Structure 1
Amino acid sequence: MSQALTLARPYARAAFSLARDGGKYADWSNALGFAARVAADPQISALLGNPKLTNADAVTLLSPDGASETFGSFLALLFDNRRLALLPEIAGLFEELRAEAERIVKARITSATTLPAGELDTIKAALKKRFGREVEVETAIDESLIGGALIDAGDVVIDGSLRGKLSRLQSALTN
């Protein structure tokens, strides 16, 4: 996995540079996402490794409707360098670069039960104040947390769950 990320990083940076220069972050994000989903399909993945597949066929297969000529050239470059299998990693790294450029923090809030909209808005506002950036929130439910919430925002993890508090109390009592 780390080797794939290492190989994908320069391509993601190049795609990001092209998107930034054209002011088309969303278009590139959508196109890369489409290409990554297609390339990740096991049947398509096997087809991409076929030596009879031409450059033009690969570009047509992986390009969404309305994709720019520049995106097609990018896919052709990946084909020429035999890096089409890296599309999922390239798309993920591109999204990280885009979030950084747009000053957005992606946070995942996992709670024991469904959070009311008011609480979610309060948490989002607190995270926005803490990071000084816009916050995109994704929610999940994990009943094993017992109560409270676990917030994962990039490099920061805030464990306010009852399970986490009990674990810290147990650790303190045993030491």
Structure 2
Amino acid sequence: MSTALTLARPYARAAVSLAREQGRLSIWSDALGFAAMIAADESVASLLNSPSMSADAAITLLSPEGEVDADFLQFLRVLSANGRLPLLPEIATLFEQARAEAEKIVNVRVTSASAMDAAQVETISTALRRRFGSEIALTQAVDPDLIGGAIIDAGDVVIDGSVRGKLDRLRTTLAQ
């Protein structure tokens, strides 16, 4: 996986740079997301690695319906020419990280013991906006094994306020 990320990184940087210059980050995000979803399918991945599949057929397969950005199609041609189409899922992931950074958005995943209501989500979002000084893109998950509380994962920052986490820390302290 790390090799794939290493290979994908320069392509993702080029895609972000081109999309940002054109003011089309959102359009590229959608197109890359679509292409990555198709490329991630196991049957398609084997086709992309097949010498019998032409570059034009691969680009047609990976292009979203309707009008497609000409520069995005050229980007797919470059990936095809360099045998890098299977890296589209990693490229899309790196692109989204760079896009969030450029748009000053912090992606946060909140895993709670039970479903949160709208007021709780807003309270957490407001506190995180103040802490990070950025907009927050919050996704929620429920894990009853947490017993109570929540875990907030904002990439480099993880706040474990779960009962399970507190019990684990107490167990570690008592064991020492």
TM-score bracket for this pair, using the shorter chain length = over 0.9
Partner residue, 1:58: 58
Identity, % of aligned positions: 57
If the length of structure 1 is used for normalisation, what is the TM-score?
0.98
Alignment TM-score, normalising by the size of structure 2: 0.97
SS class of match (2:9): helix
Could you list the per-position Cα deviations for residues 30-58 of structure 1 after superposition, in whole angstroms to 9, with x for gaps in the alignment? 00000001111111111112212222111
Q: Which residue of the partner structure matches residue 108 of structure 2?
A: 107
Task: Trace 1:1-175 onto structure 2 (pairs within 5 A).
Answer: 1-65=1-65, 66-175=67-176
After superposition, what is the alpha-carbon deviation per residue over 1:56-76, rounded to whole angstroms, capped at 9, x for unaligned? Answer: 111111111221111110000
Q: What one-letter code is carried by the residue in structure 2 that aligns with 1:149?
A: A
| Count of residue pairs the alignment pairs up | 175
In structure 2, C-alpha distance between the alignment counterparts of 1:112 and 1:57, rounded to whole Å: 47
Task: Calculate the aligned-residue CA RMSD, in Å.
Answer: 0.8
Unaligned runs of 5+ in 2: none
- SS for the counterpart of 1:82 is coil
Task: State the secondary structure of the residue aligned to 1:87.
Answer: helix
Runs of 4+ aligned residues of structure 1 deviating over 4 Å after TM superposition are none
Instruction: Give the Cα–Cα distance (whole angstroms) in 2 for the partners of residues 107 and 17 of structure 1.
Output: 24
Residues of 1 paired with 2:174 and 2:45: CA distance? 52
